[in-house]
Amino acid sequence: MTTDTLKENGGRRDAATRAAELLREMSLEEKIYQVTAEMIFDPTGDYRERRDPMCGSYRNPGHFMHYKRETPASPAEVARQINSDVRDSIEAQPHGIPPIENGEALHGAQWGMATCFPQPIALASTFDPELVGRVADVIGKECAAVGVRQVFSPVVNLARDCRWGRTVETYGEDVKLSCDMGAAMCRGLQNNGVIATPKHFADNYAAGGRDSNYSETSERTMRETVLPPFRACFDAGAKSVMAAYNAWEGIPCSCNGRLLTEILRDEWGFDGTVVSDYGGVDGIETAHECGGSRAEAAAMALKAGLDIILPYKRFDAVREALDKGYITEEELDRNVLRVLTAKYRLGLFDSPYADPEAADRLVRCDGHRALALEAARESIILLKNESVLPLKKEKTRRVGVFGQSADVIPVGNNYSGPYGTPWRGDDAPTPLEALNAFLDGAEVIYGEDRDIETLASSCDAVLYFAAIVEGEGSDRSDLRLPSVTVHKTRADDGGIIVDEAAQEIREDQEKSILRLCGANPNTVVVLMNGAPIDMRAWIDRAPAVIEAWYPGEQGAKALTEILFGVTSPGAKLPISVPKSAGQLPLFYAYKPSGRGYAYCDDDGRPMFPFGFGLSYTSFELSQPSVEKTEDGWTLRTAVTNTGGYDGAEVVQVYLHAQRTKTVRPVKELTAYRRVSVKRGETVEVDIPIPADAVRYYDADMRFGAHGGDFSLLVGTSSDDTPYCVELQS
């Protein structure tokens, strides 16, 4: 697979021309099949007889091959099965049209036990798009290696209400950060011949953090915050997009012509395909109660600009829609042409098969696992430290470990590994295993919460690994750590292929943390989660708190290195951490209220602000300067490491606008740079500020330079910007 496979073997015109020529030869039946898909949960037994080889797209069978097996299927096995399916389809098609084998790739190629990176919320914490681009490159390679050629990733919805269970899938609350991370992910995937499919288009959750609920978002807010990350993905080369389940402006997104045609295609010039979320087209009729049948729903979607109906075969619905005149063959041809063009772009007609032996050599090779460790190191955030961390290895002879997450590989339940079985790898340790390996010769005791008082006081340090259930179908109204409850998510709730995320919480975790802090002054609370936690009950008592997120297959090793000072933490929060759910929605880039922000019982400020993160060392920024350039401006500053450890700092630049024609946020991230600095050294930093930073939508929703006074606030978090520099036009 080369980096040019998406350049269409001679250019876009050639792919479109070949697609148009083929379309003219196809029967109506063949055309209908190209806009339909199939997913079969059990690829065993009479699977070949159950599989219809005529469909245009398939959920790759590798995702389901590991279910109920003692040992997972190898990459070569997965590649051979996908090759077999592709061969059956090509041989069955009158014109030999190959299918697109699709799947998920939220933080790793999810067809099986491929390299499992930190969850997206953790990747965003790196503030390092270059690193995320390398992660995406590996994910793309491990998808293409087995024949998966389209993935439903990345998620670029903003998480501005962390009650939303899918916050873990996002890059946080900020527009700029989500644009950069989403674009980096798309470039890495597309460069390996894998179609990136950013989702969910658009505004996929509503008030209260409720997943897929009706959007009451105005067009201004859509334009300013919701849509830019999608457009950044398309500018980076993404050739597909997934329509959201929800409705906007009274129309379900799956059949919303304003979104799928007027904005996406006519305004932005997008020339790829639009796929439905799983069951989203059926939901036009069933959930939204629009149209009177599946046939009408299919027609509404296809006419509005959606091209592929996922995941189940809906041939009969499209056939009925044509027979009853809900859609014409000429209208269907537009959809089919886009699907065929995508297949020519991918080179599927010329090279439809994967190399099984090469897949075995590539997937989870040494370099890929090393990158998973690097990404984990960069993603873990130090939130609080009262001289407890780093722990000293030579002085630590006895460590007490508590909490249910201590003995689990920290990949998270959401979109990690194949269907029906947890992700696992022989060399992917749990935190408990990583501690034992690192502290060879010391005593590591894994204790029950009931033994806290007995064990903790005799330890040199104690660690509490908190547990929480979250993810797709698990929105929360309470942000506290769950206590003595069982929370289950139906396996078919929304995502269809999302596993049952059932977990029994055996203890009152908040009380356990308080007991542990009382028993040992060297207590470290390690959060394993995908969205902010309400910490009010224990944060004042806890000497040290680490936000580890779900740091992936090598995350336990990275966490151990940070705990003992092998690596200094340098990650920053991509999302504001509220004090309680009562503050939500909460995000730093709010617009002036005209009066104030406080509640009668708190000041409205977060527990920890966007962009916050501590280090074992200390940094100083020099007075910034700004120079006008042809493309905008360049901000110059210097970062000096004034502490005792090598480390990394994220220089953050926020735009503040005054005297504008329309109301702008009080501040918004416009640029940033993660900088590694050795102790005692100074690094000069140049950060480009694009000309678009001072452009905005006026009262008539025209985007441009409409005037105002602009300044740059420079610092190390959204709440710590000691420098202000005026922008001169």
Residues 608-617: tens digit of each pLDDT: 999 999 999 9
Banded model confidence at residue 470, pLDDT cuts 50, 70, 90: confident
pLDDT of residue 604: 84
Question: According to the model, what pLDDT value does residue 206 have?
Answer: 87
With cut-offs at 50, 70 and 90, classify the pLDDT of residue 4.
Answer: very low
User: Nearest 5°: phi and psi at 258?
Assistant: -60, -45
Other CB atoms within 10 Å distance of the CB of residue 560: 22
pLDDT given at position 595: 79
Whether the per-residue pLDDT at 489 is higher than 50: the answer is no
Q: What is the pLDDT of residue 7?
A: 46
Taking only the tens place, the pLDDT of each residue in 619-629 is 999 999 999 99
Instruction: Report, as an integer, the average pLDDT of 271-293.
Output: 96
Alpha carbon separation from 171 to 88, 157, 180, 334, 667 (Å, rounded): 39, 8, 9, 34, 19
Give the CATH architecture of domain 378-566: 3-Layer(aba) Sandwich (3.40)
At 42-81, the pLDDT tens digits run 999 999 999 999 999 999 999 999 988 999 999 999 999 9
Q: How confident is the model at residue 494 (pLDDT cuts 50, 70, 90)?
A: very low
DSSP string computed for 582-636: GG-S--SSPPP-SS---BTTB-S--SB-TT--B-SS-EEEPPPEEEEETTEEEEE
Fill in the DSSP letter of residue 403: S
Rounded average pLDDT over 555-568: 98
* CATH architecture under which domain 619-726 falls: Sandwich (2.60)
Q: Is the dihedral of CA 511, 516, 522, 527 positive or negative?
A: negative
Cα separation, 314 vs 211, in Å, equals: 25
Contact 615, 646 (CB under 8 A): no
pLDDT for position 486: 57
Q: Convert the pLDDT of each residue in 432-449 to its tens digit.
A: 999 999 999 899 999 999
Task: Write the CATH number of the domain with boundaries 5-361.
Answer: 3.20.20.300
Q: Bridge-partner residues for 443, per DSSP?
A: 398
pLDDT for position 501: 52
Q: What's the pLDDT score for residue 597? A: 75
pLDDT tens-digit readout, 13-47? 699 999 999 999 999 999 999 999 999 999 999 99
Q: What are phi and psi of 215, to 5 degrees?
A: -90, 125
Does 5 score more than 60 pLDDT?
no
Q: Which pLDDT value is given to residue 484?
A: 75
- Residue 8 pLDDT more than 80? no
Of 188-202, 371-385, 470-484, 489-503, which gets the smallest average pLDDT?
Answer: 489-503
Q: pLDDT per residue over 400-422, tens digit each? A: 999 999 999 999 988 998 998 89
Q: What is the mean pLDDT of the chain?
A: 94
Q: What does the pLDDT read at residue 583?
A: 93
**What integer pLDDT is reported at residue 491 of this predicted model?**
46
485 vs 572: which has the higher pLDDT: 572
Phi first, then psi, for residue 624 (nearest 5°) are -75, 155
- Kindly report the CA angle at 525 between 521 and 526, in degrees rounded to 5? 150
503: confidence class by pLDDT, cuts 50, 70, 90: low
Residue found under tokens 């509005």: 304
In this prediction, residue 403 carries a pLDDT of 96
Torsion angles phi and psi, residue 295, rounded to 5: -65, -45
Q: In angstroms, what CA-CA distances link 212 with 29, 49, 493?
A: 33, 36, 11
Look at residues 718, 369, 379, 370 and name the one whose alpha carbon lies nearest to residue 527.
Answer: 379
Coil vs helix vs strand at 653: strand
Upper half-sphere CA count for residue 290 (Cβ side, 13 Å): 20
pLDDT digits 0-9 by tens, 306-334: 999 999 999 999 999 999 999 999 999 99
Residue 499's pLDDT is: 57
237-276 burial, b for 16+ CB within 10 Å, e for fewer? Answer: bbbbbbbbbbbbeebbbbbbbebbbebbbeeeebebbbbb
SS3 call for 677: strand
pLDDT-derived band at 2 (thresholds 50, 70, 90) equals very low
Per-residue pLDDT band at 498 (split at 50, 70, 90): low
Tell me: pLDDT of 488 over 90: no
Does the pLDDT of residue 699 top 60, yes or no? yes
pLDDT of residue 473: 83
On the question of pLDDT at 271 being above 60, the answer is: yes
Domain boundaries, the chain: 5-361, 378-566, 619-726
Q: Can you tell me the distance from the alpha carbon of 548 to that of 271, in angstroms, rounded to the nearest whole number?
A: 39
Mean pLDDT of 333-349: 97
Q: Please tell me the predicted confidence (pLDDT) of residue 3.
A: 38
User: Residues 293-317: what's their mean pLDDT?
Assistant: 97
Residue 658, classed as helix, strand or coil, is: strand
Residues with Cβ < 8 Å from 309, sequence gap 6 or more?
Answer: 35, 36, 37, 276, 281, 298, 301, 317, 318
